[in-house]
């Protein structure tokens, strides 16, 4: 809107005989203002997206806490807002997820806990087995030369 008014002023000044320097100066000011307005609009769009994702995160807390956390993380990645931070904190409190295993198996076929519950074994295609510490989620052993298996339980 402001740029259109300034453009109208430039046309008027051109028709009434203003010097080219004055017209150029007005055009530069209009360009700077347009860039500033564009930046402001982009920031407002990021804020709106972040707040929308945070609201979706909060609405999913009781249904799917892990999805809630993912939505809150995306909101934070878009732009930090108090809403995105709050939704992330609330999602982390509600979630039962303790850690995610970063397994090298592309297709896990079997999972088993040790009798005392301190370790977890995952087995996948090609006989590849990984042993995990259930308290930390860290891999403690990997076996990649185990022959084909049917079940590790």
Residue 5 has pLDDT above 70, yes or no: no
Residue 131 backbone phi and psi in degrees, to 5: -110, 135
Average pLDDT, the chain: 83
- pLDDT-derived band at 13 (thresholds 50, 70, 90) equals low
> Regarding predicted confidence, which is higher, 8 or 129?
129
What confidence score (pLDDT) does residue 81 get?
A: 95
3-state secondary structure of 139: strand
What is the Cα–Cα distance from 89 to 30, expressed in whole angstroms? 43
Q: What is the dihedral of CA 140, 145, 146, 152, to 10 degrees?
A: 30
**What's the pLDDT score for residue 17?**
53
The answer to whether the predicted template modeling score (pTM) of the entire model surpasses 0.85 is no
Minimum mean pLDDT range among 79-83, 130-134, 144-148: 144-148
Secondary-structure percent of the chain, ordered helix, strand, coil, rounded to 5: 55, 15, 30
Alpha carbon 47 to its chain's center? 14
């Amino acid at each position: 809107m402001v740029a259109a008014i300034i453009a109208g002023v430039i046309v008027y000044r051109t028709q009434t005989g203003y010097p080219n320097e004055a017209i150029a100066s007005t055009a530069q000011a209009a360009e700077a203002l347009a860039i500033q307005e564009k930046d402001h609009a982009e920031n407002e769009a990021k804020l709106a997206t972040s707040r929308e994702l945070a609201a979706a995160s909060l609405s999913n807390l009781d249904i799917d806490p892990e999805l809630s956390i993912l939505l809150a993380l995306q909101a934070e990645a878009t732009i930090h807002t108090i809403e995105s931070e709050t939704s992330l904190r609330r999602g982390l409190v509600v979630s039962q997820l303790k850690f995610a295993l970063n397994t090298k198996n592309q297709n896990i076929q079997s999972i088993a806990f040790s009798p005392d519950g301190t370790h977890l074994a995952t087995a996948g295609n090609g006989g590849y087995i990984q042993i995990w510490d259930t308290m930390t989620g860290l891999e403690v052993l990997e076996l990649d030369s185990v022959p084909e298996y049917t079940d590790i339980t």
